[in-house]
């Protein structure tokens, strides 16, 4: 039996985006609001943590340990889940500590996480060292992978895909931000479980197509095994578009700024500058290029992240641009 705890506000709503659809003069666009999962401002990681934290508690964990960027949405939600269940939380964040905490980093601190800053090159080594030290100190640590993306975490988006189908939504395309691969792997498994006939397109925010495909495919098979299934997924079965990485992870460009503005001013929906802003920018560009048929349904899956809007790194540039 697959263990799961309740953290998220589910099911998250699906909404039509009529004004954006009309503006782009293309297919009908809908949105799945996983920015409303509820845990400390929500996001897709809350779903993953329902499975990961259940596993941690079953193992008697007293400390959650994970890693991410300074403005990591994943780390914010790990910190919130730890607080909710009375566990310790240590976060390894890659980057320089800012003069003043803001955005997700401020929330990490409010939620009580211990924060250790390091370089990306030293992150994995420091994670293992911190885990070993916590274990030696009797803290019973539980290591949550980057982005919550392992077979256990991927189960969450298989369940989420079933949730979408049970809401009566059967789009021709599901489009979302893809990075560490767990969300996309879960969706592919969910599509297999439900018999979904549409296409699942991950807009990469940071890694090239082949790299992400090689990450996602084995996660699909591993997550399927946890559900007592055998699903063969070749890397070429994973649809990825990496044309919108721009200058790299976490570097906001004109595409992200335009997407944030269009969603806000036409639908009253806030996107973030790192993940959903980039994915929406890609979707908008593909619509303009005529990549979708006029009668098709597009579901944009909002994976959260809006606290990053309030980080000075992004807010200064946005305030000048909008």
Largest CA distance in the chain: 60
Contact 140, 60 (CB under 8 A): yes
For CA atoms 91, 95, 96, 101, give the dihedral sign.
negative
Query: 72, 178, 179, 204: which one is catalytic?
Result: 72
72 catalytically annotated: yes
**Which is it for strands 199-204 and 173-178: parallel, antiparallel or unpaired?**
parallel
Contacts of 68 (CB under 8 A, 6+ apart): 74, 75, 91, 92, 93, 94, 146, 147
Active site residues: 72
């Amino acid at each position: 039996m697959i263990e799961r705890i309740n953290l998220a506000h589910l099911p998250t709503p699906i909404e039509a985006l009529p004004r954006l659809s009309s503006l782009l003069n293309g297919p009908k666009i809908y949105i799945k609001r996983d920015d409303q999962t509820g845990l400390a401002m929500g996001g897709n990681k809350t779903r993953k943590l329902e499975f990961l934290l259940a596993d941690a508690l079953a193992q008697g964990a007293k400390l959650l340990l994970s890693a991410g960027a300074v403005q990591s949405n994943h780390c914010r939600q790990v910190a919130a889940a730890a607080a909710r269940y009375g566990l310790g939380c240590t976060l390894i964040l890659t980057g320089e500590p800012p003069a003043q905490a803001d955005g997700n980093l401020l929330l990490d601190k409010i939620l009580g996480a211990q924060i250790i800053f390091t370089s990306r090159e030293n992150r994995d080594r420091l994670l293992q060292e911190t885990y070993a030290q916590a274990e030696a100190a009797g803290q019973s640590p539980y290591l949550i992978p980057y982005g919550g993306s392992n077979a256990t975490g991927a189960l969450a988006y298989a369940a989420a895909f079933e949730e979408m189908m049970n809401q009566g939504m059967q789009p021709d395309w599901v489009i979302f931000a893809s990075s560490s691969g767990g969300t996309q792997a879960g969706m592919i498994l969910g599509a297999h479980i439900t018999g979904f006939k549409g296409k699942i397109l991950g807009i990469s925010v940071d890694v090239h197509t082949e790299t992400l495909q090689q990450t996602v495919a084995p996660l699909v098979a591993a997550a399927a095994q946890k559900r007592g299934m055998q699903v063969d997924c070749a890397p070429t079965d994973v649809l990825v578009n990496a044309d919108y990485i721009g200058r790299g992870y976490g570097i906001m460009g004109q595409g992200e700024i335009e997407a944030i503005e269009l969603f806000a001013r036409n639908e009253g929906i806030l996107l973030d500058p790192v993940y959903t802003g980039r994915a929406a920018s890609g979707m908008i560009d593909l619509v303009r290029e005529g990549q979708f048929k006029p009668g098709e349904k597009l579901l944009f899956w909002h994976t959260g992240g809006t606290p990053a809007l309030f980080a000075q790194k992004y807010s200064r540039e946005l305030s000048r641009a909008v």
